[in-house]
Chains A and B, each alone.
Chain A
Amino acid sequence: MNNALGMPQTAVVLGGTSDIARSVMRALAARRMRHVVLAGRDEAGLEGAAKELKALGVASVETITWDVIDEEAHTALAQDVAGRMGQVDLVLVAVGVLGNQDVCESDPSATASVLSTNFTGLAAAMVAFAQILRSQGQGRLVVLSSVAGVRVRRSNFVYGASKAGLDAFAQGLAEALRPTGAGVTIVRPGWVATRMTAGRSPAPMATTPESVAADIIRGLERRADVVWSPASLKVLFAVLRLLPKSVWRLVPG
């Protein structure tokens, strides 16, 4: 069960090898996490993440091989996880690929792949888990969105559009779940130094997975609807959203 301070005891991670997800789970392991299921494609990577959580004292950690674009598998996964845990307190939605913007712009299937991984497949998976949370009457979906979706930019608009879609979907799902006892927290990090961004030059206000994780924990504590990380991005993007296109083009990052 989620306790009075928003701390879960059970969690399923969609995209269990994500750097941000691993940081979040490390932080939760130190609190009162007892049962974790890590789902994803990279079996070896999942095993590594599972081993680490066990070493941190989580009593039960399991891995399930699962692909976000296999929409037929989502309901089975959700029911399997619910069956193993009893109560699913936290669904950490951390699947995401950056994609190669240049390739995407000329290759329809590359674009479709980014969108189905980051948005359509993931949205379908969220629907499957939302069903579980509804019937439980409690539990929280934490969705890793991105500031890239708040206002898309020329340099990464395919990724940005996928996050914009995911973010909008999560906002709607949050409203739909409001009367059910379940909740949704949308996380909008800025540029984070992870495997996904390795080799790229950091944008202004770059942050780390650990610091995003700390912001997410604080968000859980207050059952937040939206977590910006770092928090100052909230104010910054309130302004950036309003910039005329001619000026937005010139903004670095």
Chain B
Amino acid sequence: MSEPKEGSFSSPNMPTGVPTTHQILTGWGRTAPSAAEVARPSKPEEVQQVLAAAASAGRAVVARGLARSYGDAAQSAGGVVLDTTAMNAVHDSDLEAGWVRVGAGASLDALMRSLVPKGWWVPVTPGTRYVTVGGAIAADIHGKNHHRDGSFCSHVRSLTLATPTGTREITPENDAELFWATAGGMGLTGIVLEATIQLLRIETAYMLVDTERATDLEDTMARMTARDDEYRYSVAWIDCLARGRRLGRAVLTRAEHADLANLSGSCAADPLAFDPRVLLEVPVTPPGGLLNPLTVAAFNEMWYRKAPRWQAQKPETLASYFHPLDALGSWNRLYGSRGFVQYQFIVPFDAEDALRVVLERVSNARTASFLAVLKRFAEANPGPLSFPSAGWTLALDIPAGSPGLGNMLDELDVVVAEAGGSVYLAKDSRLRPELLGAMYPRLDEWREARNRVDPDCRLTSDLARRLGLVEQGVAPRQFRARRGNRPRSTAGAHR
């Protein structure tokens, strides 16, 4: 057999009119690679061109921004992946009223760098600035302020969506069904081209942070329940390796934006300065990874002990409070060549037992979960696939090589589903399709909305294929309706 050459055998580049490259893609977790033709359009017409070419070639299409989804949401094996990052311009803004219209490929990092010095903040930010606006909409991301401000799409006034049946401008008013199907729709309703985002007024680029330690899970949840509402931002870091009496011990950090009056010294001289840096870049992937139960246990112990038992009103920069890991470039490499999975789930407020069960199992399994994060969510928005809804959400990073991991997470899925909860699709890379319907009971409603704009199911990702999201193919597993189907809300419940 003669030696095949790269690119010569696989489906030849499609005549899209836009250059494409054959690339192997993974999510942030660096697992489950698959190859696709990647196009990087620089204007909306090119997106339509690629959509049309893919349709005539019978290929799947999905958008990809900065690839911070942990799993397989922004890749499509054998298909066409639309890299949106070249469509990153600011198209319009009103810095009196506080809104901005940007290309979907604009990163929150770029937005913050231009807006913070003018006294505006992106109202919902995840733990990294390196996500695009399009990705933020597709995953309907949340931050530490969901209990106060809801998720990202609650601040999106309008968006332009390119679909296989045409480009449309949608708002929650003119097409609520499609707008909310797009919010958290994992890119499967179309390619977001532009969006108008409502901003939050800030006086300074600083936070006033209250820190406290909680001794166990009960203490952690009690403290959060009692006083989260007094703060705009709240998060608990949980030591997942602590066991027994210390199970669920945590460091709580809750914060408000600092006013000018709160600042003194050098901070006050330039209160809106915002220039976070990457302090260190992980240069290579250590084959076995550096994060194992030993190193993580040591880190967790140090982190817990170094936190003050109680500290009030400590000024911190925006970046150090919201995006501490952004200072370490390519930190996902620390998990080694096999990568890692993030397990993030939510259970309703009356299902605290399930949270405890999950934490016990993870703690007993001694998997090296680094910086597990617990937050409280307020009511859901109307998005059928939008993840946040009233309850507790816990996120755990676990090395993919951990022994027994697959079976353990499969069992935890059942605990979560039985409690009326769900896992977050933007983080998922291994859920079984049978559980999707139980976790997202409004799945069919969402499918109807998306089928309206993509009847041939061209918009498909590896995530969609793995879970049978787009096409009904898997008999859903039934669970006792513990809470008569969680209040995932119907349209109108939006605050």
Interface residues of A (CB under 8 A from B): 1-7, 9, 31-32, 34, 59, 86-87, 127, 131, 134-138, 172, 176, 179-182, 221-223
Contacts and interface: CB of A to CB of B under 8 A. Distances in A.
Contact of A138 (B4, B78, B401): B78
Nearest to B471: A86
Interface string B15-49: 00000001010000101111110000000000000
11 contacts: A3-B32, A31-B406, A87-B77, A131-B9, A136-B78, A137-B77, A137-B79, A138-B35, A138-B77, A138-B462, A221-B406
B430 interface: yes
B482 interface: no
A3 B3 CA distance: 30
Interface residue range, chain B: 35 or more
A3 B466 contact: yes
Nearest to B341: A4
Nearest to B401: A222
B356 interface: no
Given A137-B77, A179-B7, A87 B32 contact: no
Given A4-B400, A127-B1, A137-B77, A34 B474 contact: yes
Contacts of A3: 31-32, 72, 429-430, 466
A135 B78 contact: yes
Interface SS of chain A: loop
B69 to A, nearest CB: 12
A5 B31 contact: yes
B159 to A, nearest CB: 28
Contact of A5 (B1, B72, B430, B462): B430
Contact of A1 (B10, B24, B341, B466): B466
A1 B339 contact: no
B34 A135 contact: no
| Residue of B7, B77, B406 with most chain A CB atoms under a 10 A cut-off | B77
A66 B196 CA distance: 58
Nearest to A179: B6
Nearest to B31: A4
B29 A1 contact: no
Given A3-B32, A4-B29, A136-B77, 17 more contacts: A1-B72, A1-B77, A3-B72, A4-B429, A32-B432, A34-B474, A59-B475, A86-B465, A137-B10, A138-B35, A176-B3, A176-B4, A180-B10, A181-B33, A181-B78, A221-B400, A221-B406
B287 to A, nearest CB: 11
Instruction: List 5 A-B pairs, minimum CB-CB distance, nearest first.
Output: A181-B35, A4-B429, A137-B35, A4-B31, A1-B466
Nearest to B33: A181
Given A2-B32, A5-B400, A222 B338 contact: yes
Contacts of A127: 1
| Residue of B72, B406, B429, B433 with most chain A CB atoms under a 10 A cut-off | B406
A32 B477 CA distance: 13
Contacts of B3: 176
A142 B339 CA distance: 21
A197 B197 CA distance: 69
Contacts of A179: 6-7, 22, 24, 35
